[in-house]
């Protein structure tokens, strides 16, 4: 295995390769592995001093329809149903050629990567599409999660893997997979769950005697590590701290890229082509106001994507004629809370798991509900942005009672037996003896919040939500608590003390991106490819046209079109 030390690779820049990949997330790694398997000489340059991109922060889930895993458990699906769903979701931004190519090739890309890399995926058969009532939607079987991966297999590169978001780990370095979460919530009520948690904690304790973090990698960290090891074994060279400055072109042909280094600008020539996989533009001060309506209107938001994702690839392509496609929504939205740690550093937490549980509601600054809290995180923020007319940052409050918070936790505050008090003392969570007092503490109209809770509680006692239909579809119920006898998403908020947590509009990355064809080639204003230039991942306009339609609809296309870019590069003369 080619396991050069991280230090030596950072210091020795390539000068000429067959394929230059810019970005080290799932898309770039898929392209690199596929091209290297065809005998091409490949180098990856990464702007950050760590590798993994946005994928390393993510759950690592891939939306791959018609997979082997789905067929093996008897889930029926078809290319036409997949295209039908994408057509409905993408609306006017629908690109049939790319949608059909994705529907045809996604399962092939997954099968290829599972047989040609260390990445392995397990089906989540009950995980439905986010809009399960839409034409062509699936009630489960299109989302797959990566299996856990042993980080020490990376050798010296383990220390250069981007860590998950700090707020998604426990005790400063224990990675938690989605399948672990129910065990942590039930460990005081289930012997099996307590044993599961005990084993994880014991292993983590042993790891921390030798490493800065746990070595059991989960979620996006597991996927990135598995793909990176596979790329390194093929002789792919990875350069860190090497930002893209601009592309090199001869007439209409892209021949390489100028990158930054400690010695100044450096040209890497690419005989076959350049693949842009830089993570989109969530931190671009130039592109944000041009694509985010609320930002242009004076409502800024904070992104959860890596700070290095500032649109370098998109800007470089646009400078040579590449076209930016905006779609319906420019970004993948999520509600997030912010907390300050002991070193005065601000961290963000994505609210995927709490707001959709029974005993929780969300209210706007006027104390009114505005959304079905069990809908997807993207839909939650879409509703918030539509509802929010202020000039400041859009925000809402998650409100819950004591039994709900102690059973499920709220934000980074853990469920019992975890400690809630430190989060109350820090001001992260607001506690009050009554709903009226809670309203006064968080600055919303007292009467409005009391009325909202009263109107919610009446039907909620019968497991109903006539105002927003919470729990009426399979996706809502998937995120609820299946152990409840009535509506698994709805319970009254009536047992004090009561709690509130502020959430803001944030994004996980961008959907707007470069116009590309079915081979992931970047297109100009005449829909002609810029020869030698490819884009995938968040640098490519979303196949779903700016809609968040299911778990993994960023990574699934990233792997697929990265794979297709690698195949097309290998076929170039």
* Sequential pLDDT tens for the chain (573 residues): 334 444 434 447 989 999 999 999 999 999 999 999 999 999 999 999 999 999 999 999 999 999 999 999 999 999 999 999 999 999 999 999 999 999 999 999 999 999 999 999 999 999 999 999 999 999 999 999 999 999 999 999 999 999 998 888 888 888 888 888 777 878 888 888 889 888 888 888 888 889 899 999 999 999 999 999 999 999 999 999 999 999 999 988 999 999 998 889 999 999 999 999 999 999 999 999 889 988 888 888 889 999 999 999 999 999 999 999 988 889 999 999 998 877 888 899 999 989 999 999 999 999 999 999 999 999 999 999 988 876 678 899 999 999 999 999 999 999 998 999 999 999 999 999 999 999 999 999 999 999 999 999 999 999 999 999 999 999 999 999 988 877 899 999 999 999 999 999 999 999 999 999 999 999 999 999 999 999 999 999 999 999 999 999 999 999 999 999 999 999 987
Angle made by CA atoms 112, 555, 135, in degrees to the nearest 5: 100
The four Cα atoms 420, 423, 425, 428 give a dihedral, to 10 degrees, of -140
Rounded to 5 degrees, φ, ψ at 545 are 65, 25
Rounded distance between C-alpha atoms, residue 439 and residue 367, angstroms = 8
Domain 1-164+219-330+511-573 carries which CATH code?
A: 3.50.50.60
Rounded distance between C-alpha atoms, residue 149 and residue 169, angstroms = 16
What six digits make up the tokens of 323?
Answer: 């076209």
| CB half-sphere exposure, 224, CA atoms < 13 A | 27
> 511: helix, coil or strand?
coil
Rounded distance between C-alpha atoms, residue 312 and residue 276, angstroms = 9
- CA distances (Å), 233 to each of 10, 36, 240, 307, in order? 17, 10, 17, 29
Cβ(475)–Cβ(376) under 8 Å? yes
Task: Work out the number of other CB atoms within 10 angstroms of the CB of residue 15.
Answer: 11
Rounded distance between C-alpha atoms, residue 528 and residue 452, angstroms = 55
Cβ(242)–Cβ(267) under 8 Å? no
Cβ(532)–Cβ(254) under 8 Å? yes
Instruction: Show Cβ contacts of residue 321 under 8 Å, excluding neighbours closer than 6 positions.
Output: 252, 524, 525, 530
Domain made up of 344-507: CATH architecture: Alpha-Beta Complex (3.90)
Instruction: Show Cβ contacts of residue 153 under 8 Å, excluding neighbours closer than 6 positions.
Output: 118, 225, 229
Rounded distance between C-alpha atoms, residue 549 and residue 89, angstroms = 7
Look at the block and give the residue holding tokens 């819950």.
400
What six digits make up the tokens of 114?
Answer: 């599972």
Rounded distance between C-alpha atoms, residue 232 and residue 431, angstroms = 51
Whole-structure pTM value: 0.94
What six digits make up the tokens of 473?
Answer: 């579809």
What six digits make up the tokens of 410?
Answer: 């709220």
Distance of CA 5 to the CA centre of its chain: 29
Name the pairing type of β-strands 498-510 and 331-340.
antiparallel
Rounded distance between C-alpha atoms, residue 408 and residue 418, angstroms = 11
Cβ(559)–Cβ(67) under 8 Å? no
Rounded distance between C-alpha atoms, residue 235 and residue 228, angstroms = 11
- CA distances (Å), 403 to each of 24, 218, 492, in order? 43, 30, 10
Residue among 62, 206, 217, 227 nearest 149 (CA): 217
């Amino acid at each position: 295995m080619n396991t050069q030390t991280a230090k030596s690779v950072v210091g020795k820049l390539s000068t000429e390769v067959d394929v230059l990949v810019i970005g080290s997330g799932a898309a770039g790694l898929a392209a690199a592995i596929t091209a290297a398997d065809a005998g091409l000489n490949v180098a990856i340059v990464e702007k950050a001093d760590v590798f993994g991109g946005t994928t390393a922060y993510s759950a690592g889930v891939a939306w791959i329809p018609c997979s082997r895993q789905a067929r093996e458990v008897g889930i029926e699906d078809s290319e036409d149903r997949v295209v039908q769903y994408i057509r409905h979701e993408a609306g006017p931004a629908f690109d049939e050629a790319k949608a059909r190519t994705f529907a045809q090739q996604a399962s092939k890309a997954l099968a290829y990567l599972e047989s040609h890399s260390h990445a392995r995926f397990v089906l989540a058969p009950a995980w439905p599409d986010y809009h399960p009532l839409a034409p062509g939607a699936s009630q489960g079987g299109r989302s797959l999660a990566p299996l856990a991966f042993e980080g020490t297999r990376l050798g010296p590169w383990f220390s250069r893997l981007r860590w998950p978001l700090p707020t998604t780990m426990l005790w400063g370095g224990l990675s938690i997979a989605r399948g672990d979460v129910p065990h942590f919530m039930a460990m005081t009520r289930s012997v099996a769950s307590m044993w599961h948690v005990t084993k994880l904690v014991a292993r983590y304790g042993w790891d921390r005697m030798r490493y800065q973090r746990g070595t059991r990698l989960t979620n996006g960290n597991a996927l990135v590590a598995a793909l990176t090891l596979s790329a390194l074994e093929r002789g792919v060279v990875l350069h860190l701290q090497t930002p893209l400055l601009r592309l090199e072109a001869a007439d209409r042909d892209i021949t390489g890229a100028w990158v930054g280094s400690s010695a100044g600008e450096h040209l890497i020539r690419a005989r076959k082509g350049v693949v842009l996989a830089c993570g989109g533009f969530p931190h671009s001060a130039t592109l944000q106001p041009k694509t985010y309506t609320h930002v242009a209107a004076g409502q800024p938001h904070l992104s959860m994507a890596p700070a290095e994702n500032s649109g370098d690839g998109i800007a470089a392509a646009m400078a040579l004629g590449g076209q930016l496609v905006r779609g319906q929504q420019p970004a993948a939205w999520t509600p997030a809370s912010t907390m300050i740690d002991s070193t005065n550093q601000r961290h963000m937490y994505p609210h995927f798991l709490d707001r959709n549980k029974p005993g929780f509601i969300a209210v706007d600054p006027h104390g009114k509900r505005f959304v079905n809290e069990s809908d997807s995180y993207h839909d939650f923020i879409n509703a918030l942005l539509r509802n929010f007319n202020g000039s400041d940052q859009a925000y809402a409050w998650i409100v819950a009672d004591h039994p709900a918070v102690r059973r499920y936790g709220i934000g980074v505050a853990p469920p019992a037996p975890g400690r809630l008090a430190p989060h109350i003392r820090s001001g992260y969570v607001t506690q009050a003896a009554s709903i009226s007092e809670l309203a006064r503490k968080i600055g919303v109209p007292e009467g409005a919040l009391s009325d909202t809770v009263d109107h919610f509680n009446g039907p909620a006692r019968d497991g109903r939500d006539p105002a927003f239909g919470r729990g009426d579809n399979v996706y809502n119920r998937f995120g609820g608590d299946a152990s409840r006898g009535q509506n698994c998403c709805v319970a009254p908020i009536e047992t004090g003390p009561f709690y509130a947590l502020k959430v803001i509009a944030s994004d996980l990355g961008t959907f707007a991106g470069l116009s590309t064809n079915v081979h992931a080639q970047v297109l100009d204003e005449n829909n002609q490819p810029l020869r030698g230039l490819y884009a995938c991942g968040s640098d490519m306009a979303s196949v779903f046209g700016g809609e968040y339609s299911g778990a993994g609809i960023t990574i699934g296309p990233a792997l697929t079109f990265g794979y297709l870019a690698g195949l097309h590069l290998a076929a170039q003369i």
